Structure 1
Amino acid sequence: MTQADDRILETLTDSGLTLSPRVLSVNTDYSRHYLSTRLGKLADAGLVDRVDEGLYRITDHGHAYLEGDLLASDLEKEE
Structure 2
Amino acid sequence: MVERISWFSPADYEILLFFDACDIGATSKVVAYNIDYNDVYVNKRMRVLEDAGFFTNDNGIYELTDFGRAFLNGEVEVSEVEALDESE
TM-score scaled by length of structure 1:
0.84
Structure with greater proportional helix content: 1
RMSD: 1.6
Higher relative contact order (CA 8 A, sep 6+): 2
3-state SS in 1 of match to 2:63? strand
Q: Is the 8 A contact 1:25 1:32 kept in 2?
A: yes
Q: Is the 8 A contact 2:25 2:61 kept in 1?
A: yes
Return closer, same or farther for 1:72/1:37 CA change in 2, 3 Å cut-off.
farther
> Which consecutive unaligned segments of at least 5 residues does structure 2 have?
1-7
Q: Number of paired residues?
A: 78
In the TM superposition, what are the counterparts of 1:1-40 in structure 2 within 5 Å?
1-40=8-47
Return closer, same or farther for 1:31/1:72 CA change in 2, 3 Å cut-off.
farther
Which residue does 1:77 correspond to in 2? 83
3-state SS in 2 of match to 1:70? coil
TM-score scaled by length of structure 2:
0.77
Give identity over the alignment, percent.
Answer: 32
> Which consecutive unaligned segments of at least 5 residues does structure 1 have?
none
Return closer, same or farther for 1:72/1:31 CA change in 2, 3 Å cut-off.
farther
Q: Which runs of 4+ in 1 moved over 4 A?
A: none
Choose 1 or 2 for highest CA Rg: 2
The Cα of 1:47 is off from its aligned counterpart by 0.4
